[in-house]
Amino acid sequence: MKSFKLKLVLLLTICFVAFTELNAQEQVLTKYVDPFIGATGEGHTFSGASLPYGMVKIGPDCGKLNANSGYDGDGEIKGVSHVHVSGTGGPPKYGNVLVAATSGPVDIINYGSHRTNESAAPGYYAYRSKEHNIESEYTVTHSVGFHKYTFAKNQKLNLMFDLGSFLAGGDNKKSGEYSQELVGSEVRVISDTEIEGYTRIRWGWNVGDAYTVYFYAVTDKPAQQTGTWKSGKLDKNKKSQFDSHEPVGAYLTFGSNSSGEVKMKVGISFLSIGKAKQNIKNELPAWDFEKVKKDASDIWNEKLNKVVVKTKNEDQKKIFYSAVYRTMLMPVNRTGENPKWKSDAPYYDDFYCIWDTFRATHPLLTLIQQDEQVEMINSLIDIYKQEGYAPDARSGNSTGRTQGGSNSDVLIADAFVKGLKGINYEEALNSMIKNAEVPPGGDERLMGRGGINDYNNLGYVSTDYERAGSRTMEYAYNDYCIAIVAKGLGKDALYEKYINRSKNWENIWNKDIESDGAKGFIWPKRKDGTWSNKWNVHKSEGWSGWLYEGNSWEYSLYVPHDVASVVAKAGGKDAFVSRLDTFFTKNTQSFHPWLNDYYNVNNEPGFLTPTLYTYAGKSYKTNETVRNIIIKNYTSKPDGLPGNDDAGSMSAWYIFNTIGFFPVAGQDVYIITAPMFNEVSLNLGNGKTFKIVANKLSAKNLYIKSIKLNGKFLDRAWFRHEEIENGGVMEIEMTNKPISWDKVLPPSLSTNK
Amino acid sequence: MKSFKLKLVLLLTICFVAFTELNAQEQVLTKYVDPFIGATGEGHTFSGASLPYGMVKIGPDCGKLNANSGYDGDGEIKGVSHVHVSGTGGPPKYGNVLVAATSGPVDIINYGSHRTNESAAPGYYAYRSKEHNIESEYTVTHSVGFHKYTFAKNQKLNLMFDLGSFLAGGDNKKSGEYSQELVGSEVRVISDTEIEGYTRIRWGWNVGDAYTVYFYAVTDKPAQQTGTWKSGKLDKNKKSQFDSHEPVGAYLTFGSNSSGEVKMKVGISFLSIGKAKQNIKNELPAWDFEKVKKDASDIWNEKLNKVVVKTKNEDQKKIFYSAVYRTMLMPVNRTGENPKWKSDAPYYDDFYCIWDTFRATHPLLTLIQQDEQVEMINSLIDIYKQEGYAPDARSGNSTGRTQGGSNSDVLIADAFVKGLKGINYEEALNSMIKNAEVPPGGDERLMGRGGINDYNNLGYVSTDYERAGSRTMEYAYNDYCIAIVAKGLGKDALYEKYINRSKNWENIWNKDIESDGAKGFIWPKRKDGTWSNKWNVHKSEGWSGWLYEGNSWEYSLYVPHDVASVVAKAGGKDAFVSRLDTFFTKNTQSFHPWLNDYYNVNNEPGFLTPTLYTYAGKSYKTNETVRNIIIKNYTSKPDGLPGNDDAGSMSAWYIFNTIGFFPVAGQDVYIITAPMFNEVSLNLGNGKTFKIVANKLSAKNLYIKSIKLNGKFLDRAWFRHEEIENGGVMEIEMTNKPISWDKVLPPSLSTNK
């Protein structure tokens, strides 16, 4: 017995030491995260407090309440609300359960204030209000916003809950832009420390169904006065306001006997008030603000340590870790909070949208957040099982709107070829086939593939449909993804069907079109098979054009499964390289470059294009192109992102390209782009690490001279997932000379079947 | 001044006298209503308490909780729940917020009991429980269930709220049959007199989204004990159970000091608990059970007085007024209770479904409940504006499932040709065109017109789609309805387009098919234009066949806009009459006759067929056929309805045919079928009355000899809406001889353009 005890003590000691060592290995990386990067300008990033994939995102709603993240840099702060997204465009979504802190008399309209100072860190946001002389601090757990208000002892504090407030703007129903609108709201003051209620909103970017955000709020001190309002009418004696499709609110007023500090927990739920209350009980039973703040920071720090980079450039570290941080804000884990059905599957919302995130964000998760990636895919499959389609985008518990292809197909293929466990690939394949075969109907932007009847009957989407060009290009790649999964599951007939359909992009390739020395472009084709004569290769359109957010220069290059075929059609390697040179140099970087330019750094259709040089044997051009784009477009300033961050997509593009390689999403292939860090360690989980070392790296030494992967020299500027999935080392010698050292081209359908 | 006052007094006196007289004119008709007619057997009617179109329908949920209305005749009553439908088929819907009254120890599983006696009247339901010795009585306002429990003074009363209970059954997902399932539930005991919470359910017959039924309950006496449960685990100390996607419940226990009687109000809302509470405040502030019961009865009595029939046959009156009562149970007026959007339009739910009710129920409303009919159509148009399609069916705030055509089109055309005011017919026409042009997509049964691409491209729905035959027939009539509205709005090009499409039924008419001496039947056609060779005219199928709930004998006759053309195709009048004779005599009245027989009394596709004799100049055969069907199939017994009442459809068919005429829905035409009452007064509103007098009516005198409409002899067995819309008298001389007295046939497209 004694011996057993001794063993146990030894074991515990070893565990403790191991645990301490593991923690000791973790660096403090949160200090490099600046949540304000991308928060102004076109980035639209969220600057408030959230956990990774956190349901509650507490942050300021500013000015005219029309910013996508709620935030602007210097306008009035109306208050903080509890649900947000990050980096999105179009009519904003969320901004629910707004709380404003004021002093003086209760004013249910003008409760906003200006900030005299403001700070943010992972899991924390704070500002001081100029007009009201109140210090407001916020931290979070997964589903609870934790508020702390400090005010002068001779002063009053009003906590105003405005359930009629939400983010809105961009309404243009004719072009399909629907601003959020109120469906209803309700509030009850339960006691002098408790308020509960909800706000019910519909529409916004995805034109979604009504969603309801319930809350339960409790303070650490009793209020001296309470009241409510409805439709602009204050009632100081009424304790509740029922839902009559009108905006309601309530307030708690604390006097000087509240010792100048009031804390409040606001539990949020998409199910009910009871669940919101329970979320507080589960996640935040005590009142220690500093501890919760530190816990949030620690959770983020662990996540940030998944990628450790070495460089002496502290500013670069700031850009990098802020980017890593932003890739983990969305989608949102709402497991246990689905008001539409009961399921054992995980439930994620705010895929917003996969058209953005399938290219870089999800492949990044597959490397460093595999469990979450599996959960997200399983939640997509569950949505397919319950509602009929795996979404390309979803927010507020509603699927919509599809941008181009059915890109959940790419996520599934990417997981399949990289061997992710815990996914029912048979069901997943069914969801892909549904996309490919059954028209979404009434609303072609809602789900599945708009115009699929044309695509399946004619081999391309005709000009009868909007986005016919970009849809055709994306559907072809989506079909390739189906083929690959079908083949892997032993379904050869399905493979043949879809691999043939993956060549459909050729049907809109017009070999006679010339532009700036390049010949052959994708081009609008009518239902009768004739080419449109009203078009030009520079034409780039938003929602309703032939190409979605891109031009023919750009989309003609989007054939990720068969770049070799594009190279051939473009006139061979030299012509192709020359075409890429034109593509990347004719870039005026206007405010909305995707409306004017050839290459769009700030939009997703061009994510892969810098790597295409490598497909023509000129990987050094990939190196310099990537380096140029990064230096020109990414900074540590609030406007330091090119275009909307799109749920972390711009950030993920940056991360891959600075650590030295970029994924061809849907394939087990990474193109080496050259690192911008001396050393990178990717924690692949289960104790596996993939290390990238860049020797002699400098501003001038931006080219690759040679690469050793796991001790062996590479004769190719790409590698497969299986070569790194168990960890390893990639050692790269850098040089200042552009050298064509790579011999073997990356795989393409037409050359490497 | 004095003179003015005198005038006012005189005016008031006149008004008072007029009012008293009006009330004096009202007969007590509620005594003829037996809510148990149709409640067992195939009728599936609701036997509990509801107001006309009432949101709360409080009634017993019995046995295995798999009856569509909740009711069975003699099994165990689990308890009463607050939301029901009436007369439906397929997997049941609703059965929400169940309350069971028990004595003895709290048992959260076996709380049901058997009834020793049971009674029901409009707005009232009661039974005595055998095991628990409790008298349970229920009455209602629009949104509140009023409970009254009487028990022995030495006894306990437990009021058990089971939020995990709902109606379920018929699950067969492969064939599209989805049983209701729980999404979540929540409950809170607020005080010793208050309980609140909700139950969230999805699916059921229309495979609808999750809907939430909130409640707030208050008793007139304090409970001595309270407790809650979750997932079968009782907790006597816990006051609340939050939503974790599990079934929850709560109870109040009253002891002997509760004086042997406890009353309880249960407010219901589809928005929130606060709204449920407010509904009690608005509708039911006091505690006078007898007054509320009388109010409910008075409201019904006023409605029943819209049709006053004279006959010495009291049993016939009972059948008749019970039928009138059943036509006013659905749809349900949920204005102010829409959780999906805010709108100034009325909101009705439980159109369940218009495929059933467009034929007789809505035309009846247009005569005697015009305000409600306008509101219902406006609610359909608002649903189109908000969600994209006017539903053919809707329940639990979700559109679905379409049976055949897009029959909201017929409602709109019917309202238009009958001159109903207060409808925006331009918007209405847009909703019709949406149905006709835009495929519903992913789920062809959900809304709009399934298979519409085929119909619009080929002129018929091909055998690629289920229900291709019945869809083609119905779409043709729907197109006719569009044409008529378009013409009336001066849109001639639209008229031409759709009037041509209304002839599409001819494309599936196979002139070579013979059966029992009849030649020419509608027949399955493949996409390539060839006829199917695997079919027979007797084949009748349910959900997935070529014809929906009918056979080719039946559907070949469904061309309401051009019966003359069917007569011609069938070989002329004599052949057509002979064909109808065969059709009506080959009727074996099996349990599910629509699976075997030629004519289906109990299903809607045959609603018009008895009147078709009149289109061939043999109106006396219409008289005798209708009379035979009624006598054979309608009784005052609990199984006294042929087939599901389908939200009052069988009842409306009965009402029209016994008062003497039947509407050709969508047209301003009524076919005279011969009355079964000596006198009928229809209150058309605004003081207008249409009276039908049948002189010399008897069991043998079932034929019409002559008709005077507003003093003039008719030479036709039909009339137009405009001839009666301002009231009038139709005097009919009855005879025992079949006479061909009618000369002018009813209008048909091919003969009376």
Q: A710 and A719 in contact (C-beta within 8 Å)?
A: no
At B744 the pLDDT is: 96
Averaged pLDDT, A51-55: 98
Residue B496 has pLDDT above 50, yes or no: yes
Q: How far apart are CA B551 and CA A386, in angstroms?
A: 34
Averaged confidence pLDDT in chain A: 93
Q: How distant is the Cα of B333 from the closest Cα of chain A, in angstroms? A: 16
Per DSSP bridges, beta strands B225-230 and B233-235 are: antiparallel
Residue B713, H or E segment: strand B712-713
Please tell me which of the candidates B186, B273, B341 has its beta carbon nearest to residue A202: B341
Long-range contacts, A707-715 (Cβ 8 Å, 24+) = A707/A672, A707/A731, A707/A732, A707/A733, A714/A742, A715/A741, A715/A742, A715/A743, A715/A744
- Residue A538 banded pLDDT, cuts 50, 70, 90: confident
Give yes or no for residue A442 having a pLDDT over 80: no
Per-residue pLDDT of B263-313, as tens digits, reads 999 999 999 999 999 999 999 999 999 999 999 999 999 999 999 999 999
Please report the pLDDT score of residue A542 as a whole number. 66
Mean pLDDT (whole number) for A106-120: 96
Q: In chain B, pLDDT over 70 holds for what percent of residues?
A: 95
Once rounded to an integer, what is the mean pLDDT over residues B403-410? 97
In this prediction, residues A553-570 reach a mean pLDDT of 97
Structure tokens at A315: 């500013």
**Residue B20 buriedness (CB in 10 A; 0-12 / 13-18 / 19+):** exposed
Q: Are strands B332-333 and A240-241 parallel, antiparallel or unpaired?
A: unpaired
**Which of B21-30, B509-518, B692-701 shows the lowest mean pLDDT across its residues?**
B21-30
Of B210, B241, B278, the CB nearest to A242: B278
A143 touches A77 (CB < 8 A): no
Token couple for B265: 């109000």
Give the model's pLDDT for residue A735: 97
Highest average pLDDT, of A152-156, B116-120, B231-235, comes from B231-235
How many residues does the structure list for chain B? 753
Strand-by-strand arrangement of the B669-672 sheet: B661-664, B669-672, B718-720
pLDDT for res B256 = 74
Closest-CA residue of chain A to B242: A274
Which among A275, A441, A443 is the nearest to B242, CB-wise?
Answer: A275
Shortest CA gap B443–chain A (Å): 8
Comparing CB atoms, the residue among A181, A272, A441 nearest residue B186 is A272
pLDDT at A247 over 70: yes
- Beta strands, E only, B439-508: none
State how far residue B342 is from chain A, nearest Cα, in angstroms: 5
Nearby residues of A280 by Cβ (< 8 Å), 6 or more positions away: A144, A216, A218, A265, A267
Q: Among positive and negative, which fits the CA dihedral A465, A467, A469, A473?
A: negative
Residue A270 C-alpha from the chain's centroid: 21
Is residue B428 within 8 Å of B497, Cβ to Cβ? no
Helices and strands per DSSP (H, E), number in chain B: 18, 31
Phi-psi region of A343 (alpha: psi -120 to 50; beta: other; left: phi over 0): beta
What span, in angstroms and rounded, lies between the C-alpha atoms of A440 and A170?
25
Tell me how far CA of residue A574 lies from CA of A610, A612, A642, in angstroms.
16, 13, 30
* Mean pLDDT, rounded, for A674-690: 96
Say if CB B30 and CB B121 are below 8 A apart.
Answer: yes
Task: For residue A466, give the H/E element and its range.
Answer: none
pLDDT at B587 over 80: no
Rg (CA), chain B: 27
One-letter-per-residue 3-state SS of B97-154: CEEEEECCCCCCCCCCECEEEEEEECCEEEEEECCCCEEEEEEECCCEEEEEEEECCC
DSSP annotation string for A174-228: GGTB---EEEEEEEEEEETTEEEEEEEEE-STT-PPPEEEEEEEEESS--SEEEE
Whether A689 shows a pLDDT value over 70: the answer reads yes
pLDDT value for B596: 55
pLDDT in tens, B669-726: 999 999 999 999 999 998 999 999 999 999 999 999 999 999 999 999 999 999 999 9
pLDDT at A20 over 50: no
> pTM of whole model > 0.80?
yes
Contacting B with CB below 8 Å, chain A residues are 181-184, 186, 188, 198, 200, 202, 209-210, 212, 240-245, 269, 271-275, 277-278, 336, 339-342, 388-389, 438-443, 447-448, 453
Contacts of B448 in chain A (CB under 8 A): 441-442
Q: Is the pLDDT of residue A271 over 50?
A: yes
Which tens digits make up the pLDDT trace of A204-238? 999 999 999 999 999 999 999 999 999 999 999 99
Give the separation between CA B751 and CA A375, rounded to whole angstroms. 66
Q: Could you tell me how many helices (H) and strands (E) chain A has, helices first?
A: 18, 32
What number is the ipTM of this complex?
0.94
Average pLDDT of the residues in B379-400: 97
CA angle in degrees (0–180, nearest 5) for B29-B34-B36: 165
3-state secondary structure of A571: coil
Name every chain A residue with its beta carbon within 8 A of the beta carbon of B249.
Answer: none
Place of tokens 């379409």: B402
Q: What is the pLDDT of residue A707?
A: 98
- Beta-sheet strands, E only, within B28-103: 59-62, 77-81, 98-102
Is B439's CB within 8 Å of A442's CB?
yes
Name the one residue in this structure whose structure tokens are 């509990």: B48
What is the pLDDT, as a whole number, of residue B23?
Answer: 52
User: Cβ separation of B182 and A342 shorter than 8 Å?
Assistant: yes
Q: Identify the band that residue B542 occupies on the pLDDT scale cut at 50, 70 and 90.
A: low
Q: Are A672 and A110 a contacting pair, CB within 8 Å?
A: no
How many other CB atoms are found less than 10 A from the CB of residue A685?
14
A228 to chain B, closest Cα gap in Å:
14
Q: Measure CB to CB from residue A274 to each of B181, B200, B243 and give the nearest one.
A: B243
Most distant CA atoms of chain B, gap in Å: 89
Which of these ranges, A163-167, A442-446, B100-104, B193-197, has the smallest mean pLDDT?
Answer: A442-446
pLDDT attached to residue A483? 98
Contacts of A418 (CB under 8 A, 6+ apart): A366, A668, A721, A725
Structure tokens at A620: 């050094």
Please give the backbone phi and psi of residue B175, each rounded to the nearest 5 degrees, phi first. -100, 15
Of the partner residues A212, A388, A453, the one whose CB lies closest to the CB of residue B443: A388
- % of chain B at pLDDT higher than 90: 87
Distance CA B720, CA A502 (A): 61
Q: Is the pLDDT of residue B545 over 90?
A: no
Q: What is the phi-psi region of residue A448: left when phi exceeds 0, alpha when psi lies from -120 to 50, beta otherwise?
A: left
Closest residue in B to A386 (Cα) is B209
B185: left (phi over 0), alpha (psi -120 to 50) or beta: beta
Q: What is the pLDDT of residues B99-121, one digit of tens each?
A: 999 999 999 999 999 999 899 99
% of residues, chain A, pLDDT over 70 = 95
Asked if the Cβ–Cβ distance from A274 to B241 is below 8 Å, we say yes
Cα(B22)–Cα(B687) distance, rounded to whole angstroms? 10
Instruction: Give the C-alpha separation, A580 to A585, whole Å.
Output: 8
- Say if the Cβ atoms of A243 and B272 lie within 8 Å: yes
Query: Which residue of A lies nearest to B243 if distances are taken between CA atoms?
Result: A275
pLDDT single digits (tens) A135-150: 999 999 999 999 999 9
Confidence of residue B9 (pLDDT cuts 50, 70, 90): very low
pLDDT on residue A587? 61
Distance CA A621, CA A604 (A): 20
- What are the tokens at A389? 């389609």
Say what the pLDDT of residue A444 is.
Answer: 85
Beta bridge partners of B191: B194
B433-464, pLDDT tens digit by residue?
A: 999 999 887 788 899 999 999 999 999 999 99
